[in-house]
Amino acid sequence: MNRPGNGLLLPRSMGIGRRDFLKGTAAAGVAAALATPAIAQNAKIKIPLVSWMWSEPGRGDAWKAMLAKFHAEQSDVFVEEAGAPFNEFNNNMLIQSQSGKINGAMFHTTPDLVVRLLRGGHLEPLQDIVDNLGLTNTLSAAHDHLRIDGKVHGLDIVTVKFGLLYNSALFEKAGVNPPSSMDEWVETSTALTKAPDQFGIYSPHLLSEPGDFWFILQQWAAMFDGKWAEGRTPLVNTQPVIEGMKLFKTMYDKAMPKGTDIATANQMYGNGRIAQQLIVSAAANVWSSSGPDVYKSLRSAPVPGPNAKAITRIHPICVNVNASDDEKAAAKAFISWLYKPANYQELMERCLDVVPPYPEAVRKEYLDTLFWADGYLKGESTTPVEIMGDYIFFNQEFGNVVMDKLSEVLVANRPVEDAMADAQSELERASERLFEGFKL
């Protein structure tokens, strides 16, 4: 997920005094020193929850609060924080999976990681939790691809959906409205650009940030109802994908701060120097904690275009099949607790999430308070599995080829058609190697 980094260009509103910082750190340190060992010592079993979320502004705090609540309500299980930042998380997990065993009893996953782990036989079935909580018939259809023999092997902890998250104050100042067509979107974004002080839009575009570049680039083709692959056939030279890449190039030329990295762009967004981002709903939570000024002005619109589809990504929590029986039981006890409606509602509200895994997991009154969520709740959805075909198992590999060729379009003005034709040939050659010895 694209999220603000802790760069040096902090917006003024985000600054905290040295005294506040020291007070906060001291209080947190004392509390952690006093509370954690006591709880951990009393617990019968300690299990790690491997995730990338711990260092994520907003969401990390929400998960820490939920763990604290869990530890306060019972003393049998102590859940520890573990993991790596998002850009390295999938890689670490995949390398571990290839070595035969993943560390940790319980982990968060992404849509492409979970299918690889499922296929590798690393995941424990969680159907018993679903049945015991009476969710058998109400669990969202997004879980269907996590089933083997009807048993679900992962449970959603956040579903994110793409939309246009914009700064309404900048839109009002420029006298423009959220776009409803592609042409209007280009016009609006151009009108909002007053380089170098203000830019209409930002989307990651540097090869040095491949995780986020590819994560968001996939959506640009989905806006034209494009698919990147079907089965084992790459479709990067098809018309919808080419249209999506042409739109990216147009926006890059007319409305983006070229050559800007994500951390800097997010600081610019926080400072009101970027008007909009094509980004997932989870980003709003980041701004609620790290950019309160811009958060007040945030609004969302569905992704523009007549056939536009928004990629919706499910991020499940899973239990490691190789953990000991005690660890598995402890992990399932935590997930069962988390999935109770009252607890899940609290998690969603702390994370400012909008898509529940089952209807009772979200309160309508809460959704009504989300002034920025309107666009995310509308519009058609698609999933990474639908747009990536069997390449969902090689998502980043596929993305690397596309990004490399698109970069030629961006910085060397190569025609999109030529670049995507090259990408298609390269992917066709790579598919022979990637799918050799591969069985679904």
Partner 1 sequence: MTFKVHRSQGFPLDAGNIERMAQATIAEQVERVPRRGRDRQSSLAYTLVFMIVAYLGVFILFPIVQQVLTSFSNNVVGINEVTWVGLRNYERLLDDPKFWVAVRVTFTYMAFVMTGSVIIGLGAALLLNRQFRGRNMARSVIAVPWAFPEISAVLVFIWMCNPTFGVLNMLALMFPGVETNPNWLTDPNMAMPLVIVISIWKAFPFAFLVILASLQAIPRDLYEAAEVDGASKLQMLRYITIPEITPTLLLMSVLMAIFSFKQFTLIWLTTGGGPYGGITETMVLRIYQTAFRFFDLAYGATLGVAAFIIVLGLTLLFVYAQHRQDRARKR
Shortest distance in whole angstroms from residue 199 CB to partner 1? 8
Nearer to partner 1, 10 or 434 (CB): 434
Helix (H, G, I), strand (E, B) or coil at 354: coil
Structure tokens at 27: 């209080």
* C-beta of residue 391 within 8 angstroms of C-beta of residue 398: yes
What amino acid is encoded at 209 in this protein?
E
* C-beta of residue 367 within 8 angstroms of C-beta of residue 361: no
Nearer to partner 1, 45 or 94 (CB): 94
Shortest distance in whole angstroms from residue 422 CB to partner 1? 10
CA distance 384 to 386: 5
CA 383 to chain centre: 13
Structure tokens at 63: 């998960």
Shortest distance in whole angstroms from residue 263 CB to partner 1? 8
- Tell which residue, 379, 374, 370, has the closest CA to residue 352: 370
Q: Which residues of 57-78 are buried (b: 16+ CB within 10 A; e: fewer)?
A: bbbbbbbeebbeebbeeeeebb
Nearer to partner 1, 130 or 423 (CB): 423
CA distance 265 to 437: 42
Nearer to partner 1, 211 or 357 (CB): 211
Shortest distance in whole angstroms from residue 412 CB to partner 1? 6
CA distance 394 to 390: 8
Helix (H, G, I), strand (E, B) or coil at 124: coil
Handedness of CA 51, 52, 57, 58 (dihedral sign): negative
* C-beta of residue 77 within 8 angstroms of C-beta of residue 330: yes
Shortest distance in whole angstroms from residue 208 CB to partner 1? 3
Shortest distance in whole angstroms from residue 438 CB to partner 1? 6
Nearer to partner 1, 87 or 381 (CB): 87
Nearer to partner 1, 15 or 437 (CB): 437
- Tell which residue, 389, 72, 395, 410, has the closest CA to residue 233: 389
Q: How many residues does the chain have?
A: 440
Please give the backbone phi and psi of residue 138, each rounded to the nearest 5 degrees, phi first.
Answer: -110, -5
Query: Which residues of the chain form contacts with partner 1 (CB under 8 A)?
Result: 7-8, 91, 94-95, 97-98, 116, 119-120, 195-196, 199, 206-210, 257-261, 264, 393-394, 396-397, 400, 404-405, 407-408, 410-412, 433-434, 436-439
Measured CA distances, 125 to 122, 213, 314, 335, 341 (Å)? 10, 33, 17, 12, 21
Nearer to partner 1, 161 or 273 (CB): 273
Nearer to partner 1, 9 or 32 (CB): 9
Shortest distance in whole angstroms from residue 66 CB to partner 1? 32
Measured CA distances, 431 to 24, 99, 207, 218 (Å)? 52, 23, 22, 19
In the block, tokens 């009002």 appear at: 172
What amino acid is encoded at 37 in this protein?
P
Shortest distance in whole angstroms from residue 192 CB to partner 1? 15
Shortest distance in whole angstroms from residue 411 CB to partner 1? 5
Nearer to partner 1, 80 or 426 (CB): 426
Shortest distance in whole angstroms from residue 421 CB to partner 1? 15
Nearer to partner 1, 180 or 400 (CB): 400
